[in-house]
Amino acid sequence: MQTNTFVTLSSRIAMIDLVASASTDRGWIWLHTHSQTNYTIRMIEIQNLSKNIGKRRIVNDLSLSIKKGTVFGFLGPNGAGKTTTIKMLVGLNRPTSGSIQIDGKAPTDSITRETIGFMPEAPYFYDHLTGLEFLRFCGQLFHTPKTEDDYTSLLHMVGLSEAKDRRVTTYSKGMKQRLGFAQALVNDPEYVFLDEPLDGLDPIGRRELKKIIVGLKKEGRTIFFNSHILFDTEELCDEIGILHRGSLLYAGPVTTFTKGHSLEEAFVTTIENLDSTI
């Protein structure tokens, strides 16, 4: 069996073997090691992160560096450990070992929490509240004061202006996804973590939320999201990370991984080739 080598990020650049038809890209190494460009500023640092649940290791020795003002897509098959990882990044789960730093602080730090927005895979809502009331409730959890105009503008941005005074129990799945996205932005966060944000949306909704993500990036915010929609990931992301059975297979630019193929084709081929060797 012939294996090729990709470069992944850790506290030092490490090499791992990956079953896939790709080669080492020196340009990518330069991008992450050259010290005389603003692109090397890393604001999310994950070092040797592991998580055990019972006797099972869900995330295994994960190390990543994610630069400020970029969109990072976190990919992997079902059960790879993506949601467990994102919950650790926002401080909802504690790692078994390893460390996470956002702007040099742990995600559980009270100051850091004010800078984080999070949309879970299955957002929970108080159905008896209206969309506006729910967003106001979420905003009151943070110290930064908000006005009614702030809340209504946010609902307008995600396409819920006409439904803002309706109870959430009357919302469709797609409308709830939009509301979940809005609550992730209610504190005007510098770091936005999204778990399957485009799931359940129609094509118009997907396009609208993708435009918002692009706008957030232009404002200098950092977006980290999990997704199974690889076409959208390829379109939006500066870099991707691929997790398989809890271990990082690849981290870097999309084009370095795809080598002229679509992201879906490159991803599926890589995972299938790897699974065939196990």
CATH number, domain containing residue 11: 3.40.50.300
Q: Is residue 182 part of a domain?
A: no
Range of the domain at 104: 4-115+189-275
Asked whether residue 41 is domain-assigned, the answer is yes
Which is more confident, 239 or 22?
Answer: 239
23 vs 253, residue with greater confidence: 253
Confirm whether 178 is domain-assigned.
Answer: no
Identify whether 149 is part of a domain. Answer: no
- The pTM score is 0.83
What are the structure tokens assigned to 177, written together? 């996804």
Asked whether the predicted pLDDT for residue 88 surpasses 60, the reply is yes
Q: Is residue 128 part of a domain?
A: no
Asked whether residue 141 is assigned to any structural domain, the reply reads no
Three-state DSSP string of the chain: CCCEEEEECCCCCEEEEECCCCCCCHHHHHHHHCCCCHHHCEEEEEEEEEEEECCEEEEEEEEEEEECCCEEEEECCCCCCHHHHHHHHCCCCCCCEEEEEECCECCCCHHHHHCEEEECCCCCCCCCCEHHHHHHHHHCCCCCCCCHHHHHHHHHHCCCHHHCCCEHHHCCHHHHHHHHHHHHCCCCCCEEEEECCCCCCCHHHHHHHHHHHHHHHHCCCEEEEECCCHHHHHHHCCEEEEEECCEEEEEEEHHHHHCCCCHHHHHHHHHHHHHCCC
Domain assignment present for residue 268? The answer is yes
Q: Which band of pLDDT confidence, cut at 50, 70 and 90, is reported for residue 278? A: low
**In the chain, how many domains are there?**
1
Residue 15 lies inside a defined structural domain of this protein: yes
Per residue in 174-201, pLDDT (tens digit) is: 999 999 999 999 999 999 999 999 988 8
pLDDT per residue as tens digits for the range 166-181: 999 999 999 999 999 9
